[in-house]
Amino acid sequence: MNSLLNQANEILNQVNASSTDHLRPKFHITPPSGLLNDPNGFIEFDGQYHLFFQWHPFACTHGSKFWAHCTSQDLVNWDFKPTALAPDASYDKNGCYSGSAFVLGDELHLFYTGNLKDEAGERVSTQCLAKSVDAELEIYSKIGPVIHSQPQGYTAHFRDPKIWQHDGRWYCVLGAQTEALTGQVLLYSSSDAYQWNYHGPIAGEGINGLTDFGYMFECPDLFPLDGQDVLIGCPQGIKPDGFDFHNRHNNGYFVGELDYNLSQYSHGEFHPLDRGFEFYAPQTTLGKDGRRLLSAWIGIPDEDEQPTVEHDWIHALSLVRSLHLVDGRVHQRPVEEHKALRGAKSEWAAQILSSEQALTFSSENCFELSLKAEEINGLFSLRLAEAGDHFVEISFDSATGIFKLDRSHALHQDGSRESTLAYTDRLELQIFFDCSILEVFVNNGEEVFTGRVFPQQLVSNSTVSISNSCIIKELIRYDY
């Protein structure tokens, strides 16, 4: 009988390069076929980066998840490795759910959630280990559950262990749901990463005065950043608040301090991390040089109807970003390594635009645009268009400081997302457009807007037009 792992590997080995698929990104990780969701097990080991992801190889739906495995030397060129985990054990047969990785000796360990529906159809969640058995770190042997059930007072929505080491001891945070159906983050610790002690909830409903904080907290990740402890994650069921939290499921972060002796996390407000339409389950790791690196799912739970399904794949991972704490806020920037992928460069001379003028140029459907505008007076707008019809509009109003990404003209999409920027008279944009993915970094990472847009056909001369009254200090396009 062909094992589940072999079946997944066969899919991996089939070349899936449909020439009619103009939506398949060139420099983002996408699944060979089937559905991709959360990044998992992001880690650097011996100079190599490993990035796993939740994968359902057999259909574009959320079935029993596998862990796909990619590696890279430079965070931008990724190779697929054999599938790391298949849902083939008694305790994870309904999915090897999300988790993280750590190194013990020469072995890479994977710490994940075993998802099981028991005979009565009830969910059973255990936190499980697997470890590498070969020098190439491609083959993983399952050790089994090391946290056998959720603590008292919690439901079986208990998952996504994120592990780290502090002062020689292992810690992990887990996403959880209380029996009162509220979301919390739980803290555990261990001397050997195999035997775990429960310390209690450290964030979520009822903690640090938080109320109305949703019904489940998914994919927590707690890490030090520039002297603070940042907790990122995805509280499900929180309500929109001003410009914040308008997606069906949202992401965000707290900045605070974890008291390891008291197992208490004091923190400030919960802020959105990425303000775009599709961004979920971000996971970080420490880079070779001490940078805090992040990867995320460009997708949202319960939103799986996209035109790529026609080509048997759905969703992608974000570009790897580095995180920085600036005035108490987390800023995200694309890693410098990304510059290595840049192709032909087109640069426009600095110029003054009046409000009646438009700057227009053609572009392939895969590019990076870098723009610096100053002395903005009025409404600045930048449009991406195909065949004369714009599908994305980025605007900034110097009167209010409101920045807006609008994709309501794009096929299958609607809506816009907004935020108020710190400065009102200038704007810096770094836009990555990769066939059907848009990542817009605003003001050197002050805000990021990530989302999918689906041009109707291969765009060979999309138009980027800018109209406003301002000084364009810099405008550079790189083809990819």
DSSP state for residue 236 in the 8-state scheme: E
Residue 159 binds to ligand FRU (criterion: CB under 6 A): yes
* Shortest CB 142 distance to ligand FRU, Å: 17
**Assigned token pair, 32:** 């060979």
Residue the block writes with tokens 């907790």: 231
Residues with Cβ within 8 Å of 387's Cβ and at least 6 positions away in sequence, in order, are none
b/e burial code for range 277-304 (CB count within 10 A of at least 16 → b)? bbbbbbbbbebeeebbbbbbbbbbbebe
Name which of 78 and 280 has its Cβ closer to ligand FRU.
Answer: 280
Residue 67 binds to ligand FRU (criterion: CB under 6 A): no
160 catalytically annotated: no
Which one of residues 160, 278, 364, 406 is an interface residue with ligand FRU (CB under 6 A)?
A: 160
What does the per-residue mask of binding to ligand FRU show for 14-53, with x meaning CB under 6 A? -----------------------xx---------------
Torsion of CA 188, 122, 249, 303, to 10 degrees: 140
What does the per-residue mask of binding to ligand FRU show for 319-348, with x meaning CB under 6 A? ------------------------------
**Assigned token pair, 237:** 């069921």
Which one of residues 52, 53, 97, 253 is an interface residue with ligand FRU (CB under 6 A)?
A: 97
b/e burial code for range 62-92 (CB count within 10 A of at least 16 → b)? ebbbbbbbbbbeebbebeebbbbbbbebebb
* Shortest CB 169 distance to ligand FRU, Å: 25
* Shortest CB 29 distance to ligand FRU, Å: 16
Q: Rounded CA gap, 81 and 257, in Å?
A: 37
**Assigned token pair, 245:** 């939290």
Identity of residue 376: I
Measured CA angle at 324 (ends 323, 326), to 5 deg:
145
What does the per-residue mask of binding to ligand FRU show for 107-136, with x meaning CB under 6 A? ------x-----------------------
Which one of residues 218, 229, 244, 446 is an interface residue with ligand FRU (CB under 6 A)?
A: 218
Which one of residues 98, 285, 322, 468 is an interface residue with ligand FRU (CB under 6 A)?
A: 98
* Given 21, 38, 79, 229, the catalytic residue: 38
Q: Give the C-alpha distances (Å, rounded to integers) separating 132 from 36, 91, 164, 392.
A: 22, 19, 18, 44
Residue 278 binds to ligand FRU (criterion: CB under 6 A): no
Task: List residues with catalytic annotation.
Answer: 38
Residues in contact with ligand FRU by CB under 6 A are 37-38, 54, 65, 97-98, 113, 159-160, 218-219, 280-281, 301
